[in-house]
């Protein structure tokens, strides 16, 4: 057995035995999600929770004033930002804004992978959000929300993180580009599903993390996974399957035609989505 196969086997065993170290949500995201789940929470209380983290507060105000929210009047306080965003959306948005904290490493090679993964993820997020916005505009259907779409796209490849963390813990054997690429390709989806379950996210999130890359999985109804796939295809994350994914999206009625994804309008929506994480 080659060294790479041996290392892959070790990772598989850790997954099976539930001993692979999974990432935890940043503390501020946990606080916001817990507060949002409280049936007695109000906007003022939520503002106080978010206000405990200056960085998150600043980014919440920024997102409130962005094209993402589609409002012209500027807000200047966390209280105004929370009111504009609303309790329903704030749980997912706060989690999304905190996610970047997970993509860091002290090892140079692993750090480069983390940086690259975050940049790729933001591209997927921007494309997915823009594709959903086009869909809503064209169909007037609003069953899917932009804030949930944002978080879905952010977690689609979350399974990469524990693999990179394992590489950082055993740099002398794990941290080679060839092994990392192979391990990520083969194991990230399974690990991603495990993370979503450990974070107690809903089944839709588990499905996206585990099966977004598996084109044999076709839900009956159009859902978030369709837009994640479009986002990943446009971001170049799925080798050799871009055309298949986009053609499938057209067949399923997710997009009207390819030209809509090449339009200035789509490019502008992508740019606005990226500004949320700038």
- Quick: pLDDT tens for 193-212: 989 998 999 999 999 999 99
Q: Find the angle CA(117)-CA(119)-CA(121) to the nearest 5 degrees.
A: 65
Rounded Cα distance, 126 and 272, in Å: 8
In this prediction, residue 28 carries a pLDDT of: 87
Rounded Cα distance, 138 and 170, in Å: 50
In this prediction, residue 229 carries a pLDDT of: 96
Here the contacts of 43-52 (C-beta below 8 Å, separation 24 or greater) are: 43/79, 43/82, 43/83, 43/87, 44/79, 46/82, 46/87, 46/90, 47/78, 47/79, 47/81, 47/82, 50/78, 50/82, 50/90, 50/94, 51/78, 52/28
Q: Write phi, then psi, for 6 (nearest 5 degrees).
A: -65, -45
The pLDDT tens digits of the residues spanning 10-40 come to 777 887 777 877 888 888 889 989 988 888 8
pLDDT of 73 > 90? The answer is no
The pLDDT tens digits of the residues spanning 185-196 come to 888 898 899 899
Let me know how long the chain is: 278
Question: Contact 212/229 with Cβ under 8 angstroms?
Answer: yes
The pLDDT tens digits of the residues spanning 128-141 come to 999 999 999 888 88
pLDDT of 71 > 50? The answer is yes
Question: Contact 35/46 with Cβ under 8 angstroms?
Answer: yes
Question: Contact 206/194 with Cβ under 8 angstroms?
Answer: no
What mean pLDDT, rounded, does the chain reach? 86
The pLDDT tens digits of the residues spanning 212-262 come to 999 899 999 999 999 999 999 999 888 778 889 999 999 999 998 889 998
Residue 162's pLDDT band, with cuts at 50, 70 and 90, is confident
pLDDT of 121 > 90? The answer is yes
pLDDT of 1 > 50? The answer is no
Rounded Cα distance, 104 and 116, in Å: 11
Contacts of residue 55, defined as CB under 8 A and 6 or more positions apart, other chains included, come to none
Identify the helix (H) or strand (E) that includes residue 16.
Answer: helix 3-16
> What is the rounded average pLDDT of the residues 147-158?
92
Which candidate, 244, 195, 193, places its Cα nearest to that of 218? 244
- Burial code (b: 16+ CB inside 10 Å, e: under 16) for 51-65 equals eebeebbebbbbbbb
Alpha-helical regions (H) of 140-235: 146-155, 160-169, 171-174, 177-198, 203-211, 224-234
Fold of 3-15+100-275: Hypothetical protein af1432 (1.10.3210)
Rounded Cα distance, 181 and 239, in Å: 13
């Amino acid at each position: 057995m080659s060294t790479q196969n041996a290392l892959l086997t070790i990772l598989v065993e850790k997954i099976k035995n539930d001993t692979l170290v999974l990432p935890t949500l940043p503390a501020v995201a946990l606080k916001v999600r817990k507060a949002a789940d409280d049936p007695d929470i109000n906007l003022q209380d939520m503002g106080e929770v978010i206000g405990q983290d200056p960085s998150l507060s600043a980014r919440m105000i920024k997102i409130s004033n962005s094209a993402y929210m589609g409002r012209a009047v500027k807000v200047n306080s966390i209280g105004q930002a929370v009111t504009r965003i609303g309790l329903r959306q704030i749980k997912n948005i706060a989690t999304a804004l905190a996610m970047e904290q997970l993509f860091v490493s002290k090892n140079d090679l692993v750090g480069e992978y983390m940086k690259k993964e975050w940049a790729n993820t933001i591209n997927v997020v921007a494309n997915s959000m823009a594709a959903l916005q086009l869909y809503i505009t064209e169909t007037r259907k609003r069953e899917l929300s932009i804030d949930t779409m944002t978080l879905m796209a952010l977690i689609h490849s979350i399974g990469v993180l524990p693999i990179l963390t394992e590489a950082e813990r055993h740099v002398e054997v794990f941290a080679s580009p060839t092994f990392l690429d192979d391990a990520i390709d083969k194991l990230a989806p399974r690990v991603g599903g495990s993370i979503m379950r450990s974070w107690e996210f809903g089944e839709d999130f588990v499905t996206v993390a585990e099966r977004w890359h598996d084109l044999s999985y076709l839900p009956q109804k159009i859902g978030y996974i369709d837009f994640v796939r479009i986002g990943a295809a446009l971001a170049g994350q799925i080798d050799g399957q871009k055309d298949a994914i986009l053609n499938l999206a057209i067949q399923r009625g997710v997009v009207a035609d390819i030209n809509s994804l090449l339009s200035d309008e789509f490019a502008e929506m992508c740019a606005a989505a990226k500004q949320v994480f700038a």
